[in-house]
């Protein structure tokens, strides 16, 4: 199926808008979503693809965006090249059956266009807002199966943000927790990184 549409904001004259809404795209789409369908979605649509179905991604809050920016600065310092820390960007996995958009990605080398190849990704980072999502189950499995070496989860609590760093165990192809912090603590990053995440600054 080929998709050619704009997402409606519902602000047309009289509250009407001839453009197709994301909800309509999802309701009237027949069968599973393919990689071609996903790539044909209009710009500005916040979704991810997982084995034929779309996952809606809510717009980030101010707190989430601020935490992501501060965290990106620390990761840029740790890797020594701000061009290698980006996000959110599409990462193509499972031969195009899965697309995820981590909050932050640490690359091995620069690339142009989209999507990112997981072989070029050293670390993915997800920032968890109160209430959480699927960062500890489905995303963890997807990133591990894609062979991404490091997975960082940063979670907001009333006492401040805390972090958990997971390393991919090649024998089991699963993540094992490498290190963690208390809320508002600091996380010293291992090789190949050289730096510290100062979580107190995220709030």
List the structure tokens of 180. Answer: 């963690």
Per-residue pLDDT of the chain (203 residues; tens, 9 = 90+): 333 333 344 444 444 444 456 666 666 677 889 999 888 887 778 889 999 988 888 888 899 999 999 999 999 999 999 999 998 999 999 999 999 999 999 999 999 888 999 999 999 999 997 666 788 889 999 999 999 999 999 999 999 999 999 999 989 999 999 999 999 999 999 999 989 999 999 98
3-state secondary structure of 186: strand
Where exactly are the structural domains of the chain? 13-45, 62-202
Nearest Cα to Cα of residue 166 among 146, 183, 189 = 189
Calpha distance 83→168 (Å, rounded): 24
- 123-147: per-residue pLDDT in tens? 999 999 766 678 888 999 999 999 9
**pLDDT tens figures, 21-53:** 666 666 667 788 999 988 888 777 888 999 998
**pTM, 2 dp:** 0.84
User: What ranges in 40-194 are assigned the alpha helix state H?
Assistant: 62-79, 138-145
In CATH, 62-202 is 3.40.1190.20: no
């Amino acid at each position: 199926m080929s998709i050619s549409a704009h997402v409606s904001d519902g602000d047309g004259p009289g509250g009407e808008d001839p453009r197709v809404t994301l909800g309509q795209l999802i309701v009237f789409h027949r069968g599973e979503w393919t990689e071609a369908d996903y790539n044909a979605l209009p710009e500005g649509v916040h979704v991810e693809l997982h084995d034929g179905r779309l996952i809606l991604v809510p717009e980030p809050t101010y707190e989430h965006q601020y935490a992501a920016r501060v965290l990106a600065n620390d990761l840029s310092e740790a890797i020594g090249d701000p061009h290698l820390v980006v996000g959110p960007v599409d990462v193509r996995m499972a031969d195009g059956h899965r697309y995820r958009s981590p909050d932050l990605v640490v690359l091995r080398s620069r690339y142009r266009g989209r999507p990112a190849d997981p072989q070029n990704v050293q670390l993915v980072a997800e920032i968890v807002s109160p209430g959480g999502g699927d960062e500890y189950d489905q995303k963890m499995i997807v990133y591990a199966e894609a062979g991404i070496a490091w997975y960082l989860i940063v979670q907001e609590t009333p006492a401040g943000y805390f972090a958990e760093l997971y390393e991919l165990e090649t024998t089991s192809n699963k993540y094992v927790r490498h290190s963690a912090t208390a809320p508002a603590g600091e996380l010293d990053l291992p090789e190949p990184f050289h730096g510290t995440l100062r979580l107190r600054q995220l709030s």
